[in-house]
Structure 1
Amino acid sequence: MRTKDLAQAALLVAIAMILRTLTPPILLGMKPDVTLAMMFIILIIKKDFKLGFLVALATGIFTALTTTFPGGQVANIVDKLLTFLIVFNLIPLFAKFLTNKLLAAVTTAIGTMISGTLFLTVASLIVALPAPFTILFTTVVLPAAVVNTVTAVVIFSVVSFAMDVEYGSSREKEAL
């Protein structure tokens, strides 16, 4: 892991935290987690397990500090780390078939649903959920997945341009 990669990831996590504070809640104080979208973008661009782990840990800690959900402190940290482990292993599978921009969208949509499921599960083990799991999933997690996906595509386009990351899969590069 290079210092440059660590600095870039730290900057992107900081931007995500600023966006998180500006995002309004959807239901019962819960809101889309823009930091997840940024975590997935960092994983796609950097492809580094150690850096990804540090980003997941930092994101989990920062979101734990800013959550308004009862029991959300522990749930945020656990969910970010488990989501990282799952998504990090899914990205290479998806990358075989998708361009990087589409990879960001698919990864964020699926990753947000995984994260939301893990968050609600861990929170339900710690405290009683303020509403049934299925209601929270359909009214908070699914809309958050949509918002995060759109956000991820926009941010990925900006970040990849700024970092001079090539668009497209290796198959497309070979075709050129």
Structure 2
Amino acid sequence: MKIKNLTISTLFLTLGLVLHITVPGAVGLMKPDFMLAFFFFALFELQSFREVLVISIVCGFLTAMTTSMPGGEIANVVDKLMTGPLVFYTYQFLINRFNQKITYCFISSIGTFVSGVIFLSVVQVLGGIQLPFEVFLFGIILPAMVVNSLLVLLISKVLERIKPKKEAKLRF
């Protein structure tokens, strides 16, 4: 893993962790996973499957440490390990075919949905859900899809402004 990719991924995951810690548990102690937006941007900067697995594991453990859902520790690691490669390969496939912002919104929506469904499925198997699955789907996952899409657009706008523009090199 290149130092540049590691540093950028670490910064994204740190920002996401701070946001994840500050969001309180909502419906049935589950909270929207806004760390996913930063996780997705960390994945967008990577080049290899090995890097994706490393970042997915790290993100899974970080969210597991800050979860408020009973049984959410295992579910967070499993869902990040499955969502990370899916998002990475979807991004690789779509980025040169569609507008960058459309690709970001689509991937963040689908990635959030898949992550939420995997998380809930694992927690349901572990017996940590007391409410019906649909309550979490409509109360947490769908609103998180919208917020993560908006957050991804905001982050992409910030990144556009801070990335250095390539200037013509003048020789004298």
**8 Å CA contact 2:9, 2:43 repeated in 1:** no
Q: Distance in 1 between matches of 2:154 and 2:131?
A: 32
Give how far 1:25 is off. 3.4
1:39-85 CA distances to partner (integer Å, 9 max, x unpaired)? 11122233432222222111100110110101000000000000112
**8 Å CA contact 2:87, 2:111 repeated in 1:** yes
Q: What amino acid maps onto 2:113 in structure 1? A: M
Relative to 1, partners in 2 of residues 1:165 and 1:146: Cα closer, same or farther, differing over 3 Å? farther
Find the residue that maps to 1:136 and give its secondary structure.
helix
Q: Distance in 1 between matches of 2:12 and 2:4?
A: 12
**Greater than 4 Å deviation, 4+ residue runs:** none
Q: Distance in 2 between matches of 1:161 and 1:56?
A: 27
Residue 130 of structure 1 is matched in structure 2 by: 130
Q: Distance in 2 between matches of 1:164 and 1:62?
A: 30
Q: Distance in 2 between matches of 1:66 and 1:110?
A: 23
Residue 65 of structure 1 is matched in structure 2 by: 65
Structure 2: stretches of 5+ with no match in the other structure: 167-172
**8 Å CA contact 1:39, 1:52 repeated in 2:** no
**8 Å CA contact 2:60, 2:80 repeated in 1:** yes
**8 Å CA contact 2:31, 2:68 repeated in 1:** no
* Structure exhibiting the larger radius of gyration computed from Cα positions: 2
Relative to 1, partners in 2 of residues 1:128 and 1:29: Cα closer, same or farther, differing over 3 Å? closer
Instruction: Provide the aligned length of Structure 1 versus Structure 2.
Output: 166
Residue 3 of structure 1 is matched in structure 2 by: 3
Question: Could you tell me the TM-score, scaled by structure 1's length?
Answer: 0.86
Residue 86 of structure 2 is matched in structure 1 by: 86
Instruction: Give runs of aligned pairs for residues 132-151 of structure 1, distance below 5 A.
Output: 132-151=132-151
CA RMSD of aligned residues (A): 1.9
Name the stretch that deviates more: 5-14 or 24-33.
Answer: 24-33
Q: What amino acid maps onto 1:86 in structure 2? A: L
Relative to 1, partners in 2 of residues 1:101 and 1:28: Cα closer, same or farther, differing over 3 Å? same
Residue 20 of structure 1 is matched in structure 2 by: 20
Q: Distance in 2 between matches of 1:47 and 1:153?
A: 22
Relative to 1, partners in 2 of residues 1:92 and 1:22: Cα closer, same or farther, differing over 3 Å? same
Give how far 1:157 is off. 2.1
Find the residue that maps to 1:28 and give its secondary structure.
helix
**8 Å CA contact 1:109, 1:148 repeated in 2:** yes
**8 Å CA contact 2:75, 2:119 repeated in 1:** yes
Relative to 1, partners in 2 of residues 1:42 and 1:152: Cα closer, same or farther, differing over 3 Å? same
Question: Could you tell me the TM-score, scaled by structure 2's length?
Answer: 0.87
Q: Distance in 2 between matches of 1:43 and 1:68?
A: 25
Structure 1: stretches of 5+ with no match in the other structure: 167-176
